[in-house]
Amino acid sequence: MSVTVAEGFVAAGVHCGIKDDSGALDLSLVATDTALAVPAAAVFTSNRATAAPVEVSRTHLLATGGRAAAVVLNSGNANAATGITGRAHAERTCALVGEGLGCAPEEVLVCSTGLIGIPLPFDAIESGIGPLVAARAGGTGAGAAAAQAILTTDTVAKEVSVSAEGFTVGGMAKGAAMLAPDMATMLAVLTTDAAVGAADLGAALTIAVDRSFNTLTVDGCTSTNDTVIVMASGRRASPTTAALVETLTAACRSLAAQMAGDAEGATKVVTVQVTGASSPEQARTAARKVAQSQLVKCSLYGADAYWGRIVSELGSAGVTFDPDLVRISYGGVAVCVGGMAADHDQAAVARHLAQRHVEITADLGLGSGQATLLTNDLTPEYIAENMRTS
Protein backbone atom coordinates (compact mmCIF):
# COMPACT_ATOMS: atom_id res chain seq x y z
CA MET A 1 0.00 0.00 0.00
CA SER A 2 2.14 2.84 -1.28
CA VAL A 3 2.61 5.45 -3.99
CA THR A 4 5.45 3.20 -5.21
CA VAL A 5 3.28 0.11 -5.69
CA ALA A 6 2.73 0.87 -9.38
CA GLU A 7 5.61 -0.23 -11.60
CA GLY A 8 8.00 2.51 -12.67
CA PHE A 9 7.94 4.83 -9.66
CA VAL A 10 10.27 5.72 -6.80
CA ALA A 11 9.79 8.00 -3.81
CA ALA A 12 11.55 9.61 -0.87
CA GLY A 13 10.91 11.69 2.22
CA VAL A 14 13.52 13.68 4.16
CA HIS A 15 13.85 16.33 6.86
CA CYS A 16 15.07 19.69 5.62
CA GLY A 17 13.97 21.95 8.48
CA ILE A 18 10.85 23.71 7.18
CA LYS A 19 8.74 22.66 10.15
CA ASP A 20 11.30 22.85 12.96
CA ASP A 21 14.47 21.21 14.18
CA SER A 22 12.71 18.11 15.50
CA GLY A 23 13.81 15.98 12.60
CA ALA A 24 10.26 15.56 11.28
CA LEU A 25 10.10 14.69 7.59
CA ASP A 26 8.95 17.71 5.58
CA LEU A 27 10.18 17.28 1.99
CA SER A 28 8.79 14.60 -0.30
CA LEU A 29 9.38 13.28 -3.80
CA VAL A 30 7.55 10.95 -6.17
CA ALA A 31 9.30 10.33 -9.50
CA THR A 32 9.58 7.91 -12.37
CA ASP A 33 12.41 5.44 -11.86
CA THR A 34 13.99 6.52 -15.16
CA ALA A 35 13.55 10.26 -14.55
CA LEU A 36 11.76 10.37 -17.90
CA ALA A 37 8.48 12.23 -18.23
CA VAL A 38 5.27 10.18 -18.54
CA PRO A 39 1.61 11.12 -19.07
CA ALA A 40 0.32 13.14 -16.15
CA ALA A 41 -2.80 15.05 -15.14
CA ALA A 42 -4.03 17.10 -12.20
CA VAL A 43 -7.07 18.68 -10.62
CA PHE A 44 -6.44 21.88 -8.69
CA THR A 45 -8.22 23.99 -6.08
CA SER A 46 -11.19 26.12 -7.09
CA ASN A 47 -10.04 28.79 -4.62
CA ARG A 48 -9.10 31.98 -6.49
CA ALA A 49 -6.51 32.81 -3.83
CA THR A 50 -4.30 30.32 -5.64
CA ALA A 51 -0.97 29.32 -4.09
CA ALA A 52 2.26 29.68 -6.05
CA PRO A 53 2.88 25.92 -6.43
CA VAL A 54 -0.57 25.45 -7.95
CA GLU A 55 0.14 28.18 -10.49
CA VAL A 56 3.52 26.67 -11.36
CA SER A 57 2.27 23.08 -11.65
CA ARG A 58 -0.63 24.16 -13.84
CA THR A 59 1.77 26.07 -16.10
CA HIS A 60 4.19 23.14 -16.31
CA LEU A 61 1.48 20.68 -17.34
CA LEU A 62 0.37 23.04 -20.08
CA ALA A 63 3.95 23.52 -21.27
CA THR A 64 4.64 19.78 -21.52
CA GLY A 65 1.29 18.78 -22.95
CA GLY A 66 0.47 16.76 -19.86
CA ARG A 67 3.74 15.03 -18.99
CA ALA A 68 5.80 14.91 -15.80
CA ALA A 69 8.78 13.06 -14.41
CA ALA A 70 8.38 14.00 -10.75
CA VAL A 71 6.36 15.72 -8.07
CA VAL A 72 8.15 17.49 -5.21
CA LEU A 73 6.13 18.39 -2.13
CA ASN A 74 6.86 20.22 1.10
CA SER A 75 4.90 20.47 4.34
CA GLY A 76 5.03 23.16 7.01
CA ASN A 77 4.55 26.10 4.65
CA ALA A 78 1.89 26.58 1.97
CA ASN A 79 3.84 29.13 -0.10
CA ALA A 80 0.48 30.88 -0.54
CA ALA A 81 -0.11 34.64 -0.52
CA THR A 82 3.65 35.06 -1.03
CA GLY A 83 3.62 37.06 -4.28
CA ILE A 84 6.26 37.00 -6.99
CA THR A 85 8.87 35.66 -4.60
CA GLY A 86 6.71 32.65 -3.78
CA ARG A 87 6.30 31.78 -7.42
CA ALA A 88 10.05 32.16 -8.00
CA HIS A 89 10.69 29.78 -5.10
CA ALA A 90 8.28 27.22 -6.55
CA GLU A 91 9.94 27.48 -9.97
CA ARG A 92 13.41 27.19 -8.42
CA THR A 93 12.34 24.10 -6.47
CA CYS A 94 11.34 22.44 -9.74
CA ALA A 95 14.61 23.49 -11.37
CA LEU A 96 16.69 22.01 -8.56
CA VAL A 97 14.80 18.72 -8.68
CA GLY A 98 15.15 18.69 -12.46
CA GLU A 99 18.90 19.19 -12.16
CA GLY A 100 19.15 16.35 -9.69
CA LEU A 101 17.08 13.95 -11.78
CA GLY A 102 18.36 15.06 -15.17
CA CYS A 103 15.01 16.23 -16.52
CA ALA A 104 13.62 19.60 -17.58
CA PRO A 105 12.24 21.93 -14.86
CA GLU A 106 8.87 21.91 -16.66
CA GLU A 107 8.70 18.16 -16.18
CA VAL A 108 8.62 18.63 -12.40
CA LEU A 109 5.39 19.51 -10.56
CA VAL A 110 5.41 21.13 -7.13
CA CYS A 111 3.05 21.10 -4.14
CA SER A 112 3.16 22.81 -0.75
CA THR A 113 1.03 22.59 2.37
CA GLY A 114 1.08 24.38 5.70
CA LEU A 115 0.90 27.96 6.88
CA ILE A 116 -0.53 30.63 4.55
CA GLY A 117 0.98 34.09 4.12
CA ILE A 118 4.37 33.24 5.60
CA PRO A 119 7.47 33.38 3.35
CA LEU A 120 8.74 29.95 2.34
CA PRO A 121 12.05 29.14 4.10
CA PHE A 122 13.68 28.43 0.78
CA ASP A 123 17.17 27.88 2.21
CA ALA A 124 15.82 24.78 3.92
CA ILE A 125 14.29 23.45 0.72
CA GLU A 126 17.41 24.24 -1.28
CA SER A 127 19.57 22.30 1.17
CA GLY A 128 17.15 19.39 1.20
CA ILE A 129 16.71 18.77 -2.54
CA GLY A 130 20.06 16.99 -2.98
CA PRO A 131 19.49 14.49 -0.15
CA LEU A 132 15.87 14.05 -1.28
CA VAL A 133 16.80 13.12 -4.84
CA ALA A 134 19.59 10.86 -3.62
CA ALA A 135 17.23 9.03 -1.25
CA ARG A 136 14.69 8.06 -3.91
CA ALA A 137 13.94 4.36 -4.03
CA GLY A 138 11.24 1.84 -4.79
CA GLY A 139 9.39 -0.21 -2.21
CA THR A 140 6.89 0.50 0.54
CA GLY A 141 9.45 2.05 2.89
CA ALA A 142 10.28 4.84 0.45
CA GLY A 143 6.59 5.35 -0.29
CA ALA A 144 5.79 5.55 3.43
CA ALA A 145 8.52 8.16 3.97
CA ALA A 146 7.13 10.27 1.13
CA ALA A 147 3.63 10.04 2.62
CA GLN A 148 4.88 10.95 6.09
CA ALA A 149 6.74 14.00 4.81
CA ILE A 150 3.60 15.74 3.53
CA LEU A 151 1.66 15.68 6.82
CA THR A 152 0.76 18.85 8.73
CA THR A 153 -1.94 18.48 11.40
CA ASP A 154 -2.61 14.93 10.22
CA THR A 155 -1.95 12.29 12.87
CA VAL A 156 -1.39 9.40 10.45
CA ALA A 157 -0.09 8.95 6.90
CA LYS A 158 -2.66 8.18 4.23
CA GLU A 159 -1.73 5.62 1.57
CA VAL A 160 -3.60 3.37 -0.84
CA SER A 161 -3.09 0.59 -3.34
CA VAL A 162 -5.76 -0.74 -5.69
CA SER A 163 -5.14 -3.57 -8.13
CA ALA A 164 -7.17 -4.06 -11.28
CA GLU A 165 -6.92 -6.50 -14.16
CA GLY A 166 -3.62 -5.69 -15.82
CA PHE A 167 -2.65 -2.56 -13.87
CA THR A 168 -2.33 -1.00 -10.42
CA VAL A 169 -2.97 2.40 -8.83
CA GLY A 170 -1.05 3.58 -5.79
CA GLY A 171 -1.29 6.82 -3.92
CA MET A 172 -0.69 9.01 -0.91
CA ALA A 173 -2.52 12.03 0.49
CA LYS A 174 -2.63 14.49 3.34
CA GLY A 175 -5.55 16.42 4.75
CA ALA A 176 -7.19 16.89 8.13
CA ALA A 177 -8.90 20.28 7.85
CA MET A 178 -9.74 22.96 5.27
CA LEU A 179 -11.52 20.14 3.49
CA ALA A 180 -14.59 21.06 1.50
CA PRO A 181 -15.96 20.37 -1.93
CA ASP A 182 -14.60 21.21 -4.35
CA MET A 183 -12.01 19.70 -3.44
CA ALA A 184 -11.95 18.14 -0.22
CA THR A 185 -5.65 21.82 3.25
CA MET A 186 -5.38 18.51 0.85
CA LEU A 187 -2.71 17.09 -1.45
CA ALA A 188 -2.75 13.74 -3.22
CA VAL A 189 -0.33 12.04 -5.59
CA LEU A 190 -1.47 8.96 -7.48
CA THR A 191 0.61 6.66 -9.65
CA THR A 192 -0.43 3.96 -12.09
CA ASP A 193 1.42 1.57 -14.36
CA ALA A 194 -1.47 1.60 -16.83
CA ALA A 195 -0.70 2.52 -20.44
CA VAL A 196 -2.84 5.61 -20.97
CA GLY A 197 -2.45 9.01 -22.60
CA ALA A 198 -2.57 12.32 -20.76
CA ALA A 199 -5.99 13.33 -22.10
CA ASP A 200 -7.68 10.09 -21.09
CA LEU A 201 -5.84 10.11 -17.77
CA GLY A 202 -7.07 13.64 -17.06
CA ALA A 203 -10.65 12.81 -17.94
CA ALA A 204 -10.62 9.77 -15.67
CA LEU A 205 -9.05 11.72 -12.81
CA THR A 206 -11.68 14.46 -13.03
CA ILE A 207 -14.44 11.88 -12.65
CA ALA A 208 -12.62 10.11 -9.82
CA VAL A 209 -12.10 13.36 -7.89
CA ASP A 210 -15.75 14.34 -8.35
CA ARG A 211 -16.84 10.99 -6.91
CA SER A 212 -14.45 11.04 -3.96
CA PHE A 213 -12.69 14.18 -2.71
CA ASN A 214 -15.59 16.33 -3.89
CA THR A 215 -17.92 14.37 -1.59
CA LEU A 216 -15.89 15.16 1.54
CA THR A 217 -16.36 18.22 3.74
CA VAL A 218 -14.83 18.60 7.18
CA ASP A 219 -15.30 22.30 7.86
CA GLY A 220 -16.63 23.93 4.69
CA CYS A 221 -13.30 25.65 3.98
CA THR A 222 -11.48 25.27 0.64
CA SER A 223 -7.69 25.44 0.65
CA THR A 224 -5.48 27.65 -1.51
CA ASN A 225 -3.31 24.63 -2.34
CA ASP A 226 -5.59 21.66 -3.08
CA THR A 227 -3.97 19.46 -5.70
CA VAL A 228 -4.50 15.90 -6.95
CA ILE A 229 -1.88 14.63 -9.40
CA VAL A 230 -1.66 11.33 -11.24
CA MET A 231 1.21 9.97 -13.33
CA ALA A 232 1.08 6.88 -15.58
CA SER A 233 4.24 4.89 -16.33
CA GLY A 234 2.68 2.78 -19.08
CA ARG A 235 4.57 -0.32 -17.89
CA ARG A 236 1.56 -2.61 -17.97
CA ALA A 237 -1.82 -2.97 -19.71
CA SER A 238 -3.93 -0.39 -21.47
CA PRO A 239 -7.21 -0.42 -19.49
CA THR A 240 -10.69 0.36 -20.68
CA THR A 241 -11.97 3.80 -19.77
CA ALA A 242 -14.43 2.27 -17.34
CA ALA A 243 -11.73 0.22 -15.60
CA LEU A 244 -9.42 3.21 -15.28
CA VAL A 245 -12.19 5.41 -13.85
CA GLU A 246 -13.31 2.69 -11.46
CA THR A 247 -9.81 2.01 -10.13
CA LEU A 248 -8.83 5.66 -9.77
CA THR A 249 -12.15 6.35 -8.04
CA ALA A 250 -11.59 3.49 -5.60
CA ALA A 251 -8.14 4.83 -4.73
CA CYS A 252 -9.40 8.39 -4.28
CA ARG A 253 -12.37 7.26 -2.18
CA SER A 254 -10.06 5.35 0.13
CA LEU A 255 -7.84 8.40 0.61
CA ALA A 256 -10.89 10.63 1.18
CA ALA A 257 -12.23 8.24 3.80
CA GLN A 258 -8.85 8.20 5.52
CA MET A 259 -8.89 12.00 5.62
CA ALA A 260 -12.38 11.99 7.12
CA GLY A 261 -11.21 9.56 9.76
CA ASP A 262 -8.27 11.80 10.67
CA ALA A 263 -10.08 15.15 10.65
CA GLU A 264 -8.87 17.63 13.24
CA GLY A 265 -10.46 16.92 16.61
CA ALA A 266 -13.22 14.74 15.15
CA THR A 267 -14.77 11.93 17.18
CA LYS A 268 -17.13 10.74 14.44
CA VAL A 269 -17.05 10.03 10.71
CA VAL A 270 -20.49 10.87 9.37
CA THR A 271 -22.16 9.78 6.15
CA VAL A 272 -24.93 12.15 5.06
CA GLN A 273 -27.17 10.69 2.37
CA VAL A 274 -29.97 12.59 0.69
CA THR A 275 -32.46 10.59 -1.37
CA GLY A 276 -35.74 11.42 -3.07
CA ALA A 277 -34.51 14.77 -4.40
CA SER A 278 -35.70 16.33 -7.64
CA SER A 279 -32.29 15.76 -9.22
CA PRO A 280 -28.81 14.46 -8.31
CA GLU A 281 -27.56 18.06 -8.29
CA GLN A 282 -30.23 19.12 -5.82
CA ALA A 283 -29.47 16.07 -3.68
CA ARG A 284 -25.79 17.04 -3.52
CA THR A 285 -26.65 20.64 -2.63
CA ALA A 286 -28.95 19.50 0.16
CA ALA A 287 -26.46 16.95 1.49
CA ARG A 288 -23.73 19.58 1.56
CA LYS A 289 -25.98 21.99 3.49
CA VAL A 290 -26.57 19.38 6.18
CA ALA A 291 -22.97 18.13 6.24
CA GLN A 292 -21.56 21.64 6.69
CA SER A 293 -24.07 22.81 9.29
CA GLN A 294 -22.33 23.76 12.52
CA LEU A 295 -25.51 23.08 14.47
CA VAL A 296 -25.85 19.58 13.05
CA LYS A 297 -22.16 18.94 13.71
CA CYS A 298 -22.53 20.04 17.33
CA SER A 299 -25.49 17.68 17.76
CA LEU A 300 -23.39 14.85 16.36
CA TYR A 301 -20.61 15.57 18.85
CA GLY A 302 -23.20 15.45 21.62
CA ALA A 303 -24.72 12.22 20.18
CA ASP A 304 -28.07 14.02 20.14
CA ALA A 305 -30.62 12.97 17.50
CA TYR A 306 -31.89 16.52 17.04
CA TRP A 307 -33.41 15.94 13.61
CA GLY A 308 -35.12 19.36 13.61
CA ARG A 309 -31.78 20.94 12.75
CA ILE A 310 -31.48 18.68 9.71
CA VAL A 311 -34.96 19.57 8.47
CA SER A 312 -34.18 23.25 8.95
CA GLU A 313 -30.98 22.98 6.89
CA LEU A 314 -32.77 21.09 4.13
CA GLY A 315 -35.47 23.75 3.99
CA SER A 316 -32.88 26.52 3.59
CA ALA A 317 -30.66 24.68 1.08
CA GLY A 318 -32.27 26.33 -1.94
CA VAL A 319 -33.58 23.07 -3.39
CA THR A 320 -37.13 21.87 -4.03
CA PHE A 321 -38.49 20.91 -0.64
CA ASP A 322 -41.81 19.94 0.93
CA PRO A 323 -41.66 19.66 4.74
CA ASP A 324 -44.68 17.32 4.74
CA LEU A 325 -42.78 14.69 2.76
CA VAL A 326 -39.35 14.62 4.43
CA ARG A 327 -38.14 11.57 6.36
CA ILE A 328 -35.01 11.61 8.57
CA SER A 329 -33.21 8.50 9.82
CA TYR A 330 -30.16 7.82 11.98
CA GLY A 331 -28.55 4.45 11.29
CA GLY A 332 -31.65 3.32 9.42
CA VAL A 333 -34.03 4.21 12.25
CA ALA A 334 -36.59 6.83 11.20
CA VAL A 335 -36.99 9.61 13.76
CA CYS A 336 -38.98 11.98 11.53
CA VAL A 337 -41.70 10.92 9.06
CA GLY A 338 -43.79 13.36 7.06
CA GLY A 339 -41.94 16.25 8.62
CA MET A 340 -42.98 15.31 12.16
CA ALA A 341 -41.54 13.31 15.03
CA ALA A 342 -42.00 9.57 14.64
CA ASP A 343 -42.16 6.88 17.29
CA HIS A 344 -38.85 5.01 17.23
CA ASP A 345 -36.43 2.89 19.21
CA GLN A 346 -34.58 5.61 21.08
CA ALA A 347 -32.06 3.17 22.54
CA ALA A 348 -31.12 1.98 19.03
CA VAL A 349 -30.56 5.54 17.87
CA ALA A 350 -28.51 6.32 20.97
CA ARG A 351 -26.32 3.27 20.34
CA HIS A 352 -25.79 4.31 16.75
CA LEU A 353 -24.86 7.89 17.65
CA ALA A 354 -22.36 6.61 20.21
CA GLN A 355 -20.40 4.84 17.48
CA ARG A 356 -17.40 6.15 15.54
CA HIS A 357 -19.26 5.89 12.21
CA VAL A 358 -22.67 7.54 11.97
CA GLU A 359 -25.16 7.48 9.09
CA ILE A 360 -27.83 10.13 8.48
CA THR A 361 -30.39 9.67 5.71
CA ALA A 362 -32.78 12.37 4.56
CA ASP A 363 -35.46 11.29 2.08
CA LEU A 364 -37.09 14.32 0.48
CA GLY A 365 -39.85 12.24 -1.12
CA LEU A 366 -39.83 14.20 -4.38
CA GLY A 367 -37.91 12.22 -6.99
CA SER A 368 -35.01 9.86 -7.67
CA GLY A 369 -32.05 12.21 -7.08
CA GLN A 370 -29.58 11.09 -4.46
CA ALA A 371 -26.13 12.03 -3.18
CA THR A 372 -23.80 11.10 -0.33
CA LEU A 373 -21.23 13.24 1.50
CA LEU A 374 -18.69 12.44 4.20
CA THR A 375 -18.26 14.80 7.14
CA ASN A 376 -17.43 14.89 10.86
CA ASP A 377 -18.66 16.27 14.13
CA LEU A 378 -17.56 19.67 15.47
CA THR A 379 -15.58 19.35 18.69
CA PRO A 380 -13.78 21.56 21.22
CA GLU A 381 -10.55 19.97 19.98
CA TYR A 382 -11.17 21.34 16.47
CA ILE A 383 -11.60 24.84 17.91
CA ALA A 384 -8.46 24.46 20.03
CA GLU A 385 -6.48 23.46 16.94
CA ASN A 386 -7.73 26.35 14.83
CA MET A 387 -8.05 29.26 17.26
CA ARG A 388 -4.45 30.19 16.51
CA THR A 389 -2.09 29.97 13.54
CA SER A 390 -1.53 26.29 12.84
Residues in CB range of 388: below 8 A, 6 or more apart: none
DSSP-derived 3-state class of residue 334:
strand
**Residue-by-residue DSSP string for 244-310:** HHHHHHHHHHHHHHHHHHT-TT-S-EEEEEEEEESSHHHHHHHHHHHHT-HHHHHHHHTT---HHHH
Residues in CB range of 324: below 8 A, 6 or more apart: 338, 339
Q: Mark whether 185 is an active-site residue.
A: yes
CA 276 to mean position of chain CA atoms? 28
Q: CA-to-CA distance for 371 and 266, rounded, in angstroms?
A: 23
Catalytic residue among 185, 217, 271, 379: 185
CA 253 to mean position of chain CA atoms? 9
DSSP-derived 3-state class of residue 241:
helix
The edge-to-edge listing of strands for the beta sheet with 9-14 is 9-14, 27-32, 70-77, 108-115
Active-site positions read 185
